[in-house]
Amino acid sequence: MASPTVVFNSGLAAVKIKKPIKTKFRMPVFNWVALKPNQINGTVFNEIDDERILEDLNVDEFEEIFKTKAQGPAIDLSSSKQITQKGSNKVTLLEANRAKNLAITLRKAGKTADEICKAIQAFDLKTLPVDFVECLMRFLPTENEVKVLRLYERERKPFENLTDEDRFMMQFSKIERLMQKMTIMAFVGNFTESIQMLTPQLHAIIAASVSIKSSQKLKKILEIILALGNYMNSSKRGAVYGFKLQSLDLLLDTKSTDRKQTLLHYISNVVKEKYQQVCLFYNELHYVEKAAAVSLENVLLDVKELQRGLDLTKREYTMHDHNTMLKEFIQSNEGKLKKLQDDAKIAQDAFDDAVKYFGENPKTTPPSVFFPVFVRFVKAYKQAEEENELRKKQEQALMEKLLEQEALLEQQDQKSPSHKTKRQQQELIAELRRRQVKDNRHVYEGKDGAIEDIITALKKNNITKFPNVHSRILEINPTDEPMR
């Protein structure tokens, strides 16, 4: 049995070309959303073999159950490849399903075969929209189809006897370097959209990385956490010099003796009472949620793919130096790609520096792991602030009730109340006071460490390593976006 045909796509794993399936009856269309071949690598679909499954199934029964209505007898698949269409003298050399899909695609274009082929030769994306080019790429002639078409020509059979789809394929297959030209048209047509999609992702990584690393207020918060953690652990485990960022998630798991608050709630109180200048530390963290959703590895690969596409376009231009479309595209977009590559380098360096700065490994800590730690921490911290505020209001209400009871006792004392009633009221006040003291525990009184000058906004360009990063971000996003 011959080995399966494999096509190689630059930068991607080998993709097996699936054999066309010939059915005896016309089947209904299953309108799924298909993954592109370059999206399969690394997914579950790369590990399964649907063609093998078909060998185990009763496909005749399947066709009988799902075939479309009003069909004649089943097609004899053992007959000649040259099928004469019913009701006409036209001959088709293409597989029936493929010919039908090609006919649908060509009808959508509303162009003649000559117009389509001339547009491909000229890289004319005004005549052929990029969406149509990508659809047509599915019908690049296979090696076997080219052999059948050339054999038909050598045998000098009447060209006019072929169907419209076969005649198109005959002309289509004769375009020199067809695959390269179609690939370049798709690349050129999608270039602007690709730049617009990748640039904000890189800027989010840059802004989040630099703002997290440069935040003096966040540094003070971590200093407080380290101090309290060492205070709790030093007698049993000894003091430490730092902690992994994942430890921030554990602040909610460490609870007070009365189980009414967590260590994070206590830290929030400490910050509000002793370090009020860093209370809003999260306003110094920019685009962190957006950066958490970015796959930097995939973005960098996409940038490299764009460079490969431009290199292919330049090579083709050297063979068609008269083509003004290619010349204008290269001149207009080479600089844009260079800027994107610069942003990609800055994003990679800024992210690596930020990750290393917090004691993590960039190779094992991608943005999808690094930034969500801060997203979760900020969310939990804000919630702790709100709960502390609610608790404070409840304590205030309790104090007001206590004062009301004291005032009532004083009034009744003036009226000489019975000894029993007075004792009951005094006991009630004492109980209220005990609850007040219990709920208003002593706040940590540690000395304030040295606080460095606070960098309040990245737009002042005080980041020494990346002096122009944030100003470039602000050109596109003039309004800073702190964490919400």
Q: DSSP for 428-467? A: HHHHHHHHHHHHSPPPP-PPPPP-PPP---GGG---SSST
Q: Distance between CA 50 and CA 32 in Å, rounded?
A: 16
> What single-letter DSSP state applies at residue 82?
S
Please report the pLDDT score of residue 56 as a whole number: 57
Q: Distance between CA 265 and CA 112 in Å, rounded?
A: 72
Tokens of 191: 């270039």
Cβ proximity of 27 and 64 under 8 Å: no
Q: Distance between CA 211 and CA 458 in Å, rounded?
A: 7
Could you read off the pLDDT of 94-122 as tens digits, one per residue? 888 889 999 999 998 889 999 999 999 99
Residue where the block lists tokens 């231009």: 317
Task: Rounding to the nearest 10 degrees, give the CA dihedral for residues 123, 124, 125, 131.
Answer: -70
> Among residues 333, 302, 309, 335, which one has the least CA distance to residue 201?
302
> What single-letter DSSP state applies at residue 365?
-
Q: Distance between CA 400 and CA 91 in Å, rounded?
A: 96
Q: Is 122 helix (H, G, I), strand (E, B) or coil?
A: coil
Cβ proximity of 7 and 17 under 8 Å: yes
In degrees and rounded to multiples of 5, residue 6 shows phi and psi of -130, 135
Cβ proximity of 337 and 306 under 8 Å: yes
What's the longest Cα–Cα distance across the chain? 129
**What spatial distance separates the first Cα and last Cα of the chain, rounded to whole Å?**
61
Dihedral sign computed on CA atoms, order 107, 108, 113, 115: positive
Q: Distance between CA 196 and CA 361 in Å, rounded?
A: 30
Q: Distance between CA 167 and CA 172 in Å, rounded?
A: 8
Q: Distance between CA 381 and CA 383 in Å, rounded?
A: 5
Q: Distance between CA 207 and CA 473 in Å, rounded?
A: 7
The fourth-level CATH superfamily of domain 216-284+366-409 is Formin, FH2 domain (1.20.58.2220)
List the pLDDT tens digit at each of the 484 positions of the chain.
444 444 444 444 455 655 566 666 666 544 444 556 666 566 544 655 565 555 655 656 555 665 555 555 554 433 435 555 544 567 788 888 889 999 999 998 889 999 999 999 999 999 999 999 999 999 999 999 999 999 988 888 888 888 899 999 999 999 999 999 999 999 999 999 999 999 999 999 999 999 999 999 999 999 999 988 888 877 777 778 888 889 899 889 888 888 888 899 999 989 998 999 999 999 999 999 999 999 999 999 999 999 999 999 999 998 876 788 999 999 999 999 999 999 999 999 999 999 999 999 999 999 999 999 999 999 999 999 999 999 888 888 888 888 888 777 777 766 655 555 666 666 666 666 666 655 554 433 333 332 233 333 333 444 444 444 444 444 444 445 556 5
Cβ proximity of 288 and 375 under 8 Å: yes
Q: How many CB atoms lie within 10 A of CB 438?
A: 10
Name residues whose C-beta falls within 8 Å of residue 76's C-beta, 6 or more positions apart in sequence.
Answer: none
Q: Distance between CA 372 and CA 442 in Å, rounded?
A: 33
Name residues whose C-beta falls within 8 Å of residue 125's C-beta, 6 or more positions apart in sequence.
Answer: 133, 185, 188, 189, 325
3-state helix, strand, coil in the chain (%, to 5): 65, 5, 35
The three-point CA angle 22-28-34 to 5° equals 85
The per-residue b/e assignment along 470-481, b for 16 or more CB within 10 angstroms, e otherwise, is: bebbbeebeebe
> Among residues 68, 64, 122, which one has the least CA distance to residue 100?
68
